[in-house]
Structure 1
Amino acid sequence: MSTLSAEKLRIDKWLWAARFFKTRSLAKAAIEGGKVQLGGQRVKVSREIVVGDQLRIRQGWDERDVIVLGLSDQRRGAPEAQALYEETEESIARREQSAQARKLAGGMIDRPPGKPDKRARRQIHRFQNLNDA
């Protein structure tokens, strides 16, 4: 099989070829974990997809709704991989809105100024050892 010649393709192979995941095993783990849905339903790794299917893919904080435009079982460059799908306008707007909200909330979270010094590290270890016992 090669680009755009297949009529059906396993979803894990397509996710890998479309560069959503670095390896097929990561794609498989995401599918089994329920992070990939086809038409609102969880799918199995061996599920075959066809052109026109709508997928919802959750990666970290982001959730993308994409429409399959082409099939490929070969991983190629990013421009060719992006031609395999189209992200919906709603999905793009939702991702941008959540990214903006995370960015604004990030300023409110108090973080330590840097790495802990020797004294602080000892206190952390003492605290962890008390909770382990």
Structure 2
Amino acid sequence: MFKPYLDSKVRLDKWLWAARFFKTRNLAKQAIEGGKVHCDGQRVKAAKEISVGITLSIRQDLDEKVVVVKMLSDQRRGSPEAVLLYEETEESKALREKRAAERKAGMGSFIASDHKPDKRERRHIHRFQRINLFPED
């Protein structure tokens, strides 16, 4: 079992890595710099020292989690121990489940073609994409 820090502070990128939100510290740092992690509603830097009780908003792929820091650690351990470092808010859980259900329901709306597009159809597809990407042309 790891020793959680109760009084001290830990760098945000180390904590995100230790809490298993990201596989490497470098990925955690890139997410922070890319604006995918907010601390108490504001963008932060990777070197920000966090403390217990801070609210973090973490966006990964299509999901966004809002967690409250319960314990601090800079050591990466197993998943059962990492879950003890934070607590996800009830609103965040409900919103994630709702969005997952919406995505799952929307998957049936995709219509697959029974053939590969020919030259004429590809031209139409490219023209449609060009018009939608660059409407002023």
1:4 aligns with 2:13: no
Helix, strand or coil at the partner of 1:72: coil
Give 1:112 shift: 4.7
Q: 2-side partners of 1:12 and 1:3: how far apart?
A: 18
For the residues of structure 2 that align with 1:43 and 1:111, how far apart are their CA atoms? 42
C-alpha contact 1:3 1:73 (8 A) present in aligned 2: no
In the TM superposition, residue 3 of structure 1 has moved relative to its aligned partner by: 2.9
Instruction: Report Cα offsets for 1:15-43 as digits up to 9, x if no partner.
Output: 00000000000000000000000010000
Q: TM-score, normalised by structure 1?
A: 0.83
1:17 aligned partner: 18
Aligned-partner residue type, residue 14 of structure 1: W
Task: Give 2:134's aligned residue.
Answer: none
Displacement of 1:4 after TM fit? 1.3
TM-superposed deviation, 1:109: 1.3
Quote the residue 1:28 is aligned against. Answer: 29
Q: Map 1:1-133 onto structure 2 (within 5 A).
A: 3-5=3-5, 7-112=8-113, 120=116
Q: Secondary structure at the match of 2:68?
A: strand
Q: Give the residue type in structure 1 aligned to 2:79.
A: A
DSSP-derived class of the 1:58 partner = strand
What is the distance in 2 between the residues matched to 1:104 and 1:5? 43
The alignment partner of 2:35 has SS state of coil
Letter in 2 for 1:46: A
Residue type at the aligned position of 1:18: A
Contact preservation (8 Å) 1:12, 1:27: yes
- Give the number of aligned pairs: 120
Letter matched to residue 5 of structure 1 = Y
Contact 1:3 1:70 in 2 (8 A): no
